[in-house]
Amino acid sequence: MDEFPPETLALPSGPARVEWRRSARARRVSLRIDPTGGVVIVTLPLRASRKAGMALLMGHADWVANRLAALPDVVQFVDGAVVPIGGEPHRIRHAPAARAGTCLRDRELHVSGAAEFLSRRVRDFLRQEARRRLTALVMAKAGTIGILPSRLTLKDTKSRWGSCAPDRSLALSWRLVMAPPFVQDYVVAHEVAHLRHMNHGPQFWALVDELTPHAKAAIPWLKAEGARLLRIG
C-alpha cells in the first residue's frame, strides 16, 4: 500500500496530479513526468519526508509546468483516430458488420464488432503485430551472436523500451510496433547485445554497432518522439 496516496496539488502554474513513490534504491528525492497519464512522480528515499518531496516539487514548479505542457495530445483508440504502425500513420476504421476481425488495409486499420470492444481489439492487434515483428528481429540478431534469449515478453512499460534480465529473458514494449523500423531495429539490437554484455561498456556498444547501423538515429528519435507513443491508446 502506498504511504502517501496520489493527489492533485495546486502548483503555482496550476493543478497537477502527483504520485508519491518510496524507493530503497533512491539516494535522493527526485522528480519525473510519467507521460502516459501526465502525472508527476516524486520518488523518496526511505528516510526522506514528504516535506522534502514538496520542497523539491515547489522549487521546480516551472519545470513541471513546462514538461506537462509539452506532452503530446492523447490519442484514443476510437473510430477515425490516426495511429502510427511501423512509423506510418494508419486511420482506425470501425466496420461493425465486417467478418475480418482486425486487419490492415491501405493504410487503414479495419476493426469489426461492437463499438465498446474497438479499443481493446486495436490494442490486442497492435500487441500481436508487435510480437510478430519484434520476435523476428530478436531471433535474427540473437542468432548472429549465437545466444538465444530464454524468453521474450511484451510489456507496457513507462520508462524503458526494453530490458534484459540475468537469466537471458528479454522484455520489450509492445508500443515499439508504432515506431519506425529503424527504431525497432536499434532497441532490439540493444537488448540482444545485453545477452552477451550485461553492462553499457565499450564492448557492449561495439556489439550494438555490429547488430544495427541505426543507433545514432534511433536514440534521439526515442528522446524526441517516445512520449508520443506513450500517449496513444
CATH number at residue 165: 3.30.2010.10
Cα radius of gyration rounded to whole Å, the chain: 20
**pLDDT tens digits, 44-64:** 999 999 999 999 999 999 999
Q: Looking at the structure, tell me whether residues 197 and 151 fall in a common domain.
A: yes
Q: Looking at the structure, tell me whether residues 57 and 97 fall in a common domain.
A: no
Distance of alpha carbon 66 from alpha carbon 141, whole angstroms:
40
Q: Does residue 200 lie in a domain region? A: yes
- Position 1 scores a pLDDT of 40
Q: Hey, what's the cell of 134?
A: 519484434
Q: Looking at the structure, tell me whether residues 111 and 211 fall in a common domain.
A: yes
Among 17, 37, 69, residue at a domain's last position: 69
Q: Hey, what's the cell of 71?
A: 506532452
Show the domain range for 198.
82-230
Sorted by sequence, the CB contacts under 8 Å of residue 160 that are 6+ apart come out as: 173
Q: Does residue 122 lie in a domain region? A: yes
Q: Does residue 77 lie in a domain region? A: no
Among 18, 35, 69, residue at a domain's last position: 69
- Please state, rounded to an integer, the average pLDDT across all residues of the chain: 93
Q: Looking at the structure, tell me whether residues 167 and 100 fall in a common domain.
A: yes
Q: Looking at the structure, tell me whether residues 43 and 92 fall in a common domain.
A: no
Mean pLDDT of 141-153: 97
Q: Looking at the structure, tell me whether residues 139 and 64 fall in a common domain.
A: no
Burial string for 133-146 (b: 16+ CB within 10 Å, else e) reads: bbbebbeebbeeee
Q: Looking at the structure, tell me whether residues 133 and 176 fall in a common domain.
A: yes
How many structural domains are present in the chain?
2
Q: Does residue 126 lie in a domain region? A: yes
Among 69, 91, 116, residue at a domain's last position: 69
Q: Looking at the structure, tell me whether residues 104 and 171 fall in a common domain.
A: yes
Q: Which residue has the higher pLDDT, 98 or 81?
A: 81
Q: Does residue 205 lie in a domain region? A: yes
Contact 208, 12 (CB under 8 A): no
Q: Does residue 204 lie in a domain region? A: yes
pLDDT at 171 over 70: yes
Give the DSSP letter of residue 176.
G
Distance of alpha carbon 110 from alpha carbon 9, whole angstroms:
41
Q: Does residue 106 lie in a domain region? A: yes
Q: Does residue 2 lie in a domain region? A: no
Top mean pLDDT of 92-96, 101-105, 175-179 is at 175-179
Distance of alpha carbon 189 from alpha carbon 116, whole angstroms:
38
- Position 10 scores a pLDDT of 86
Beta strands 169-173 and 151-155, pairing class: parallel
**Percentage of residues in the chain having pLDDT higher than 90:** 82
Q: Looking at the structure, tell me whether residues 96 and 211 fall in a common domain.
A: yes
Distance of alpha carbon 127 from alpha carbon 21, whole angstroms:
29
Give the helix, strand, coil percentages of the chain, each rounded to 5: 40, 25, 35
- Position 2 scores a pLDDT of 57
Q: Looking at the structure, tell me whether residues 156 and 59 fall in a common domain.
A: no
Q: Looking at the structure, tell me whether residues 111 and 165 fall in a common domain.
A: yes
Output the pTM of the full model: 0.84
Largest Cα separation within the chain, whole Å, is 59
Q: Looking at the structure, tell me whether residues 11 and 119 fall in a common domain.
A: no
